[in-house]
Amino acid sequence: MTESVDPRAQAGGHVPFPDSVAGCVVVGDDGSAESAHAVRWAAATALAHGYPLVVLRAWSLTSAPRPQTWRPGFVPGEDEFAESVEAALRRDVEATLGVPTLGAVTCLSVHDTPDAALVAASHTAELVVVGSHGRHLARALLGSTADHVVRHAHCPVAVVPTPGGAGSG
């Protein structure tokens, strides 16, 4: 299942996440190898403890893959960008966990910053899982998103180190 959320739909200070997030293990995914490792860890943890898994990808117009309707001189609408993010997320989750597993996983795209989206999800999640860093900080012990989520989450947070990376020993 794939869902999309726009945080501007509610002005209450956090993203109005659907009920599918309540009681789940929520893992952030940015499409990197580091986040794929965190997704695998979260999936194993969710399965071991009997929780549903939600893979969350936050996006902006600058980070979203170009929709198929993109042409020079034409900027597609936000809905088309959301669809391209959702399709990329489904492909990445299928590649990471396998197609049979995908039926038991909710893929959720959120038009927001990753740190804000994960903290918002933490209001109802059982556990939020993040990689120690995303695609842009190969040498950092803890990336800015992970740091923000650890400091502001409303539920337990697991930070999954990158295999062979800094802090994984």
Instruction: Give pLDDT tens digits for 87-125.
Output: 999 999 999 998 776 667 999 999 999 999 999 999 999
Domains of the chain, each with CATH number or no CATH: 2-9+19-68+76-160 (3.40.50.620)
Q: What integer pLDDT is reported at residue 14 of this predicted model?
A: 45
Question: Kindly report the CA angle at 97 between 26 and 32, in degrees rounded to 5?
Answer: 70
Tokens of 78: 């936000």
Average pLDDT (66-70) is 76
H/E stretch holding 45? helix 33-49
Average pLDDT (141-167) is 83
Average pLDDT (150-160) is 95
Q: Is residue 8's pLDDT more than 70?
A: no
Q: How far, CA to CA in Å, does 21 sit from each of 13, 52, 142, 149?
A: 17, 9, 25, 16
Confidence of residue 28 (pLDDT cuts 50, 70, 90): very high
Confidence of residue 134 (pLDDT cuts 50, 70, 90): low
